[in-house]
Amino acid sequence: MPFYKDLDSSTLAGKRTIERLLLLRRQLDAEVPQKTAEESILLATWNIREFDSPAYGDRIPEAFYYIAEIIARFDLVAVQEVRQDLRALNRLMDILGGHWDCLFSDVTEGTQGNGERMAILFDKRKVLPGGLAGQLVLPPIEARGADGKTVYHPVTQVVRTPLMVGFKTGWTDFILSTVHILYGENKADNPERVEEIRQIAQALKRRSEDPFEWSRNLILLGDFNIFSPTDQTMKMITDAGFVIPPELQHLPSNVQQNKFYDQIAFRVRPGRFSTTGKAGVFNYYKTVFTPGDEKTYIPEMGESYQKTSEGKERKNTSLYYLNYWRTFQMSDHLPMWVELRVDFSEEYLQRKLEAPLQNKIM
């Protein structure tokens, strides 16, 4: 569980934070399965908006506690939009405590990369790194030259290089690859977005077919900026043989809950992974930074609540609170999660029992 020692109930903010944490814990209890010792793992992906940047003001202390409370309910969480400045991530890890650790990528250079890195947070009591860690580099294009010899042409890398980490848990090992796909133009099947997803999915497919790969169980998850399950962007994932569990296929994950930006997809060997049928998107705005809390946070929003950056009177202050300020405290994405079964002891014992019988028949 997170560390709460710095919370001070004698202050208004401290008292509010404690009260909301209690409500948040009840919501989590009602919507997310309890962790198990060995039987399953709870996997999640969450784009935490510009974690952290001074846009719309710094995150206030209570936001870190809410984020930590949510993450602590899972065993393994892929996080996108971690910024170059790691103070926010370090603060989050301090609240999560010593049972938690994280691995993160280098910052993506260039304007489109937005100074972002990706991180994977994990509960060391449940999952451990298996040794593999790196960033996915797309292979060159193989072609035939005029003389008939094989030549290789460099390929343009994706804007934000995916982070790949191998993990071990229960009876299985797997490679987790987290992505933040280019958004590009504001349309469903932006060609650059489609191509990025295709290239990444196909590259991972080839890895899953390589007998010398560290693990042939691959999980591809993160922010794909997919508008709808019927779009070409989604098809690029499934065309590479990745499977999105039925319980996740129709869950919008943005705050407005009308876009399917975030996904968790699997390309795994039989008998190594199975979903339990429990999955979801956790809407924390039912409990924290609710619409009814707007007036509470006017002091924290400051002058920007009333005036635009040009100094003009803001016509819709509620819109500023709901769509901007609070989403830079928590996020404009909701965490997507799925429970995975990783203990196959009974199946293994059953096979051991049946093996002598099969040998006798043969």
- 144 versus 324: the higher-pLDDT residue is 324
- Residue 275 and residue 41 in contact, taking contact as beta carbons nearer than 8 Å: no
- What is the number of other CB atoms lying within 10 angstroms of the CB of residue 316? 9
Res 309 pLDDT > 90: no
In a domain, 308, yes or no: no
Sequence-distant (≥ 6) Cβ neighbours of residue 191 within 8 angstroms: 184
Domain count for the chain, please give it.
1
C-alpha 178 chain-centroid distance: 7
In a domain, 238, yes or no: yes
Residue range 185-207: mean pLDDT, rounded:
93
In a domain, 223, yes or no: yes
Residue range 23-34: mean pLDDT, rounded:
98
- Looking at 72-81, 209-218, 346-355, which range is the least confident one? 346-355
The Cα angle at residue 248 between residues 246 and 254, in degrees rounded to 5: 155
Distance CA 243, CA 336 (A): 16
212-246 pLDDT, tens digit each = 899 999 999 999 999 999 999 999 999 999 999 99
* pTM: predicted TM-score of the whole model, two decimal places: 0.93
In a domain, 3, yes or no: no
Res 358 pLDDT > 80: no
Res 110 pLDDT > 60: yes
Token output for 341 = 């079964």
pLDDT over 90 percentage in the chain: 76
Res 362 pLDDT > 60: no
Res 66 pLDDT > 90: yes
- Where does residue 198 fall: left (phi above 0), alpha (psi -120 to 50 degrees), or beta otherwise? alpha
In a domain, 294, yes or no: no
| Average pLDDT in the chain | 92
- Residue 41 and residue 83 in contact, taking contact as beta carbons nearer than 8 Å: no
Res. 174 pLDDT band, cuts 50 70 90: very high
In a domain, 77, yes or no: yes
Q: What is the CATH number of the domain that holds 268?
A: 3.60.10.10
Distance CA 26, CA 42 (A): 18
Distance CA 74, CA 317 (A): 35
Residue range 164-170: mean pLDDT, rounded:
94
In a domain, 299, yes or no: no
Res. 359 pLDDT band, cuts 50 70 90: low
Strand partners, 44: 77, 337
| DSSP collapsed to 3 states, the chain | CCCCCCCCCCCHHHHHHHHHHHHHHHHHHHHCCCCCCCCEEEEEEEEEEEECCCCCCCCCHHHHHHHHHHHCCCCEEEEEEEECCCHHHHHHHHHHCCCEEEEECCCCCCCCCCCEEEEEEEECCCCEEEEEEEECCCCCEEEECCCCCEEEECCCCCCCCCEEEEEEECCEEEEEEEEECCCCCCCCCCHHHHHHHHHHHHHHHHHHCCCCCCCCCEEEEEECCCCCCCCHHHHHHHHCCCECCHHHCCCCCECCCCCCCEEEEEECCCCCCEEEEEEEECCHHHCCCCHHHHHHHHHHHHHHHCECCCCCECCCHHHHHHHHHHHHCCCCECCEEEEEECCCHHHHHHHHHHHHHHHHHC
Distance CA 32, CA 13 (A): 27
- Where does residue 164 fall: left (phi above 0), alpha (psi -120 to 50 degrees), or beta otherwise? beta
247-282 pLDDT, tens digit each = 999 999 999 999 999 999 999 987 667 899 999 999
Sequence-distant (≥ 6) Cβ neighbours of residue 317 within 8 angstroms: 294, 305, 306
Instruction: Give the pLDDT score at 357.
Output: 60
Distance CA 250, CA 222 (A): 16
In one-letter notation, the amino acid at residue 71 is I
Instruction: Give the pLDDT score at 297.
Output: 97
116-132 pLDDT, tens digit each = 999 999 999 999 999 99
C-alpha 251 chain-centroid distance: 14
In a domain, 225, yes or no: yes
Residue numbers of the domain that contains 100:
12-289+329-361
- Looking at 255-264, 332-341, 351-360, which range is the least confident one? 351-360
Distance CA 232, CA 96 (A): 38
Instruction: Give the pLDDT score at 326.
Output: 97
